[in-house]
Structure 1
Amino acid sequence: MEKYELIPAQLLYEGTVQADSFFEPVKADFKTIALAHATGYCRQLLDLTLSPSMVRRIGFPLSAALVDRELRIVQGTLEACGFANQYGVAFNVAGGTHHAGYNWGEGFCLLNDQAVAAAYLIHSRICRQVLVVDLDVHQGNGTAQIFAGEPRVFTFSMHSERNFPFRKERSDVDVGLPEGTGDEAYLAVLEHQLQAIFPRVQPDFVFYQAGVDVLATDKLGKLALTPAGCRRRDELVFEYCRAHKVPLQVSMGGGYSLRIRDIVDAHCQTFKVAARIYD
C-alpha cells in the first residue's frame, strides 16, 4: 500500500501534475457498487459478515477501514470517468482491482472499481459501448466474469498465462503470454490486438488497467518488460485512444518489484506519458 502514497508525492515533486490536479473521492454507495456486484455480497461486505473462507480468498483481514478504502477507490474511478469525458484522460492513483467478481473477492480485491464504473456508464446511458484494456500481468478474471454475456462491455486481457489466477475466466479477448516474454514480442502482440479491437468494438469509453507487474523486476510477475517497454505499452494505449477520440480512465493495478522505487517510477511514467500525449 506504500506506493499509493508515494505516487502522488513523486508526481508533485517531479512537476508532472499540480496539487489542484488531484481530487479526493467520497465513498461509493450501495446502489452504485451493486451495479456490478451481487447485492448479497455487497451487504456482507459492508456489514463485515463475509465468511471466513471468503476473507481468506481475498487475502486481507476484513475491517471497516479496508472496506471504506475500497469504496473510495471505486468512487475515485467513477469520478475519474467524468474528468476523462471532459479532458480526454483521467487517473485513479490506486484501483485496478480486477480480481473481484460478481459475488466474490479475490487476490486482495474486494470490489472491482473499473467494472462498477463501466456498469454505471452503461446503466446511466452515458456510454453505449465500453472497452476494458487490462494489461496487468494477471488476467482480469473478475472483470471478465462480471461482463460475461454483456455485449456493451468488451473485455481484453493480456497477461502471463502461467500465473495467478490459475483458474482463468473468459474475456472477450484473452492473450496468455509465455513466461519471459520481453519488450519486442509483447509490444508486437499488443499493437496487433489494438489494431483489431478498436475498429471491431468502436468504443465510446475505454478503461485501462495499467499494472506494472509486467516488469522483469517484479517478484510476482513472469514477464520480462523493461521500463522502456512498459513506457511504450502505455504509449500505444494512449495513442490509440487519442487517435480514436475516446475518453480513457486509468487505474494503476499491480506492481511488486523488490525495490519500491521501481514500482513508483513505472507508475509515474504512465502519468508522464499521458501528460505528454494529451498535452
Structure 2
Amino acid sequence: MGLLRLASFVILTAHLFGVHGYLPELRRNRLRTGDDKELPDARLIDCVRGKMILSDFHATHTYTPTQALVRENFFGRFAFTSHGVQPGVLRDGGIGRFSIVKLNHGVLFGKTAFALQPSAVGEYAYWMPQGQHIDVPKHPSANQPHFIFTPDFSGCSWTVTPMSNGMMRVKHVEGGHEDGQFNNLPTEAKGGTTSYAMQFRDYGYVFVNGQLIKHSTAYAYMHYSTSTRAWTLHVQHQTCAPRPGNPTYVDGKITAMKMNYFQHESWQPITGTDFWRIPTGRAHDYFEARRRHLNNHRH
C-alpha cells in the first residue's frame, strides 16, 4: 500500500469510526483542483447498474431543523436533501425560515428521506446558494440563526474563512470552479489569509470490504451550539442515496417528491456521517491557544 493510499485509509477510517477534529486548513489558502482533488486507485460506484426504483415519496411529518438534526437521530439513519428548496429562494443568500419534511414511500416499507424546504412557520436559518458566500457571526446571539443550509454536494467544496470583524465568510464553491470562485480571488474577497474547507476528498470516498470506493454525493450543513459556543460542519456521506426530483408543492410546502431509489447488496445508501469543528481565528493563533490550554490542565 503506497503512502498516499495509506494516508487516505487512515483519514477515511477515522471518519468512519467517528474520530472528529477541526475543519482542515487550506494549504496556501487554495482549494485542490483537477486531478489533485482525487484519490488514486479508487473504484467508481455506478449506481445506475443497481436496482433502481422510480417512485413517489409522500410527506408524512414536518420537523424544525433543531428537531430533525440535533434532537433526533435522523441524520445518521436517513438520506437528507436540499433539492426541495425552490430555485430563486434567497437567490443571493441570506436569512429565511426553513423546516424539514419527512418523505415516505407507501409501498417500499422503511424507505424514508428528509427534505429541506422553505416554511413560513419554520426556523430561521442562513441559506447559501452554490457559488455564493454569506457572512455569519462567529458567535451568534440567541436571536440570530444557528443553522447554515446549502444545496447538496457532488464535487463542490465548503469553505470557511474567519474574519477580523467577528464574522466568518462561508462559501459553497462549485466543483470545477475552484479557481474562479475561490483560489484566484483577492484576499479581501476570500475574507482573510487563512481558510478551512471540506473538499471532495473529505466526503467523496469510502472503504467497502477493504477497497477504496469513490461515490459522488453528500448532504452538509453547519450548526452553532450554544453549549460549546462553536460552529460545526456536519456531512452525510451518501452512496447511491435516493436521487430526488420534481417536488410537488401545496401552499409552498412539499407534499411529494419523485425519487430514483437505488438498491444494491454491496453498500448502503448512507455510509456514515462526520463533523468538524470550525476554528474562529488564524490557524497558528487558534491551535497555539489550544495547546496552551491543554498544557495548563496537565498541571
The two structures have a TM-score, normalised by structure 2, of 0.28
Q: Return the structure number with greater strand share.
A: 2
Q: Taking CA–CA contacts closer than 8 Å with sequence separation of 6 or more, which of the two structures ends up with the larger relative contact order?
A: 2
